[in-house]
C-alpha cells in the first residue's frame, strides 16, 4: 500500500498547507477565539475595521493563521461584516527604502480588477461621472487628503471606469508614479503624490472606493513584515512610522490592517516601525500584538494540537475499521499513533526541545515517524505498524546515535 492507503490519510502526504487547509485552525481554540474576538471587536468599535499584529518564531504558523483569518473574513465573519481580504507578502526592504515602494505594492495587491469593478459600479453611469468629485464625496469615497488630491483622484477613478488609453497613466498615478504633463492634462490631474501623507490618503480613498463600490470592507493581510527590520536610515524610518501611524489610527475606518512578522526573541525583536510609540499606541498597545506561540506553550495544548492534526488528516472511519479488524492497541483519534506515543511526543516538545514548540516542528516529527512506520510495514506486510513509544523514540532521536 502507499502511505495514504496504509494509514487512511485524506491526502497523499502527512502535511498541512497554509492555503489549502486554511479552513481548519490548529492553533488551539483559545487562540482562535482570541483572534476572532479581536476582529469582531474592531468591527464594532470606532475604527470599524480590524487592525492588529501576529508574531512568533519561524514555523509557528503565521502564514497559516493569516490564511485562516482570510478564510473567516470571506465566510463566517463576512455574514455580519462583509469583507474583502487582500493577501500580501511584504517584499524585501532596503535600509533606505521609501514608503512609495510599499505603497505601490499595496495598490498592486489590491489589483486593477478590483478597483475597476468598484469604480464602474459607482461611476459607470455617464451622468454620475460628469462631476466625479461631487458624486464620490457624497458616497463617502473621497474622505482623505487635501482638496487637490481628492479632485485628482476623482478624475483618475473616472478614467478607470471607462478604460481606454489613459488607464495605464491613471493606475500609475494611483501607485505614486509621475505622470507626463500631457497625460496629466488629459486626466485633469491637479497634483502628484509626493509625500507620505499624500500616498496614505490615496490608499485610504481606494479602500473607501472598494467599500462603497463592492459593498465589502477591504482588509490587508500582510505577511513577512519582519522585512521592516532592515530599515536603518532615519528618514526612511520616519516615513514608515508616519505611514503605519496613519493606517493604524482610528481615523482610518475603511482599510483593515493585519500584520504578521517573525521574531525569535519575543517582542523585543519586533520591527521598530511597528513598536514605535506612535504606532504601538494606535494599534492598541500590547493587546493588539498576538503571540502565536501561546497556542502550544503547555503540554496539554501540544496534545490537543496533535489530536487536531490527526483528526484533520486521518480518515477516522477508516482508522476505526482497521483498528477493530486488526485488534490494534489504539483509538481512532490517535491512529496511527498509540496514546502513549502521543504523550511521549508532547513531553519531548515541552521538556526536551522547547525551541521546537512550533507547529511546523511538531507536524514534521509526526510525519517522520509515520513515514518510518510505513516503511517498516512494507518489510512486514502481515502486521500493521503503529507508532508506539519505541517507534516515536526512534523517530525523535533519528540520526543522533540513539
Residues of the chain with pLDDT under 70: 27-29, 352-356, 399-402
d(CA 27, CA 15): 15
Would you state the pLDDT for residue 231?
96
172 and 276 share a domain?
Answer: yes
The answer to whether residue 138 is domain-embedded is: yes
Domain that residue 372 falls in: 297-396
86 and 130 share a domain?
Answer: yes
CB within 8 Å of 300: residues ≥ 6 apart = none
86 and 207 share a domain?
Answer: yes
Question: Which of 264, 293, 322 represents a domain boundary (last residue)?
Answer: 293
At 221-278, the pLDDT tens digits run 999 999 999 999 999 999 999 999 999 999 999 999 999 999 988 888 999 999 999 9
Would you state the pLDDT for residue 402?
42
257 and 318 share a domain?
Answer: no
pTM for the predicted model, two decimal places: 0.89
Would you state the pLDDT for residue 399?
60
240 and 310 share a domain?
Answer: no
The grid coordinates of residue 15 equal 502535511
Total number of domains in the chain: 2
48 and 157 share a domain?
Answer: yes
34 and 78 share a domain?
Answer: yes
311 and 247 share a domain?
Answer: no
Question: Which of 263, 293, 323 represents a domain boundary (last residue)?
Answer: 293
Please choose, from the candidates 60, 50, 368, the residue with its C-alpha nearest in 3D space to the C-alpha of residue 222: 50
The answer to whether residue 1 is domain-embedded is: no
The answer to whether residue 5 is domain-embedded is: no
The answer to whether residue 389 is domain-embedded is: yes
Would you state the pLDDT for residue 27?
65
What residue has cell string 528618514? 235
287 and 301 share a domain?
Answer: no
Would you state the pLDDT for residue 179?
92
The grid coordinates of residue 287 equal 493587546
The answer to whether residue 2 is domain-embedded is: no
196 and 65 share a domain?
Answer: yes
The answer to whether residue 15 is domain-embedded is: no
d(CA 398, CA 402): 7
Would you state the pLDDT for residue 401?
47
The grid coordinates of residue 218 equal 477591504
The answer to whether residue 12 is domain-embedded is: no
Would you state the pLDDT for residue 1?
81
Amino acid at each position: 500500500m502507499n502511505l495514504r492507503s496504509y494509514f487512511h490519510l485524506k491526502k497523499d502526504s502527512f502535511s498541512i498547507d497554509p492555503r489549502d487547509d486554511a479552513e481548519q485552525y490548529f492553533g488551539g481554540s483559545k487562540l482562535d477565539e482570541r483572534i476572532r474576538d479581536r476582529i469582531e471587536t474592531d468591527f464594532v468599535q470606532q475604527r470599524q475595521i480590524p487592525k492588529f499584529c501576529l508574531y512568533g518564531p519561524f514555523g509557528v504558523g503565521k502564514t497559516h493563521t493569516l490564511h485562516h483569518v482570510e478564510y473567516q473574513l470571506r465566510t463566517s465573519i463576512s455574514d455580519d461584516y462583509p469583507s474583502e481580504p487582500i493577501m500580501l507578502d511584504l517584499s524585501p526592504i532596503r535600509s533606505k527604502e521609501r514608503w512609495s515602494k510599499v505603497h505601490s505594492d499595496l495598490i498592486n495587491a489590491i489589483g486593477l480588477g478590483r478597483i475597476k469593478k468598484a469604480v464602474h459600479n459607482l461611476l459607470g453611469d455617464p451622468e454620475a461621472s460628469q462631476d466625479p468629485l461631487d458624486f464620490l464625496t457624497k458616497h463617502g469615497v473621497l474622505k482623505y487628503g487635501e482638496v487637490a488630491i481628492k479632485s485628482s483622484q476623482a478624475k483618475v477613478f473616472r478614467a478607470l471606469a471607462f478604460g481606454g488609453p489613459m488607464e495605464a497613466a491613471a493606475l500609475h498615478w494611483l501607485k505614486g508614479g509621475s505622470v507626463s504633463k500631457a497625460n496629466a492634462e488629459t486626466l485633469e490631474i491637479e497634483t502628484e503624490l509626493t509625500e507620505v501623507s499624500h500616498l496614505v490618503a490615496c490608499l485610504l480613498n481606494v479602500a473607501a472606493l472598494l467599500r462603497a463600490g463592492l459593498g465589502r470592507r477591504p482588509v490587508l493581510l500582510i505577511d513577512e513584515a519582519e522585512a521592516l527590520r532592515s530599515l536603518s536610515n532615519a528618514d526612511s524610518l520616519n516615513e514608515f512610522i508616519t505611514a503605519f501611524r496613519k493606517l493604524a489610527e482610528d481615523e482610518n475606518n475603511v482599510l483593515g490592517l493585519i500584520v504578521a512578522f517573525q521574531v525569535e526573541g519575543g517582542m523585543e525583536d519586533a520591527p521598530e516601525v511597528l513598536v514605535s510609540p506612535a504606532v504601538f499606541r494606535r494599534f492598541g498597545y500590547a493587546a493588539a500584538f498576538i503571540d502565536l506561540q501561546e497556542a502550544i506553550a503547555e503540554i496539554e495544548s501540544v496534545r490537543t494540537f496533535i489530536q487536531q492534526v490527526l483528526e484533520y488528516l486521518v480518515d477516522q472511519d477508516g482508522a476505526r475499521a482497521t483498528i477493530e479488524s486488526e485488534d490494534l492497541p489504539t483509538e481512532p483519534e490517535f491512529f496511527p499513533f498509540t496514546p502513549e506515543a502521543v504523550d511521549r511526543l508532547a513531553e519531548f516538545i515541552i521538556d526536551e526541545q522547547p525551541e521546537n514548540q512550533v507547529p511546523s516542528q511538531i507536524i514534521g516529527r509526526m510525519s517522520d515517524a509515520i513515514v518510518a512506520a510505513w516503511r517498516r510495514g512494507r518489510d512486514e506486510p502481515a502486521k500493521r505498524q503503529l507508532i508506539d513509544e519505541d517507534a516515536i523514540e526512534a523517530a525523535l532521536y533519528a540520526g543522533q546515535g540513539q
